[in-house]
Amino acid sequence: MTCLQTFLELTDIPNGGIRLLPMEEGIYGFQYEETIGNEEFEQVFRHEQLGINVINTYVRYIRSTLLY
């Protein structure tokens, strides 16, 4: 089981819960919150076509990893 799957099982996301992920102004020039829920995790787990929420979350992760 992957770390991502374990995380998902320990949250309320499988039951319709969501997480709001803050997107800093430095990423796209404005600040907002990205919504991540079960659908986005399923896209990754099932190797489906990724939606914009998943891509934005990955961009945020890459930025935070490279800059900090």
Q: What pLDDT, in 10s, does the model give residues 5-59?
A: 787 788 888 788 899 999 999 999 999 999 999 899 889 888 999 999 999 999 9
Helices (H), the chain: 3-9, 25-28, 38-45, 52-67
Contact 60, 47 (CB under 8 A): no
Write down how long the chain is.
68
Rounded to whole angstroms, the Cα distance separating 39 from 49 reads 11
> What is the pTM (predicted TM-score) of this model?
0.77
Encoding tokens for residue 30? 């404005």
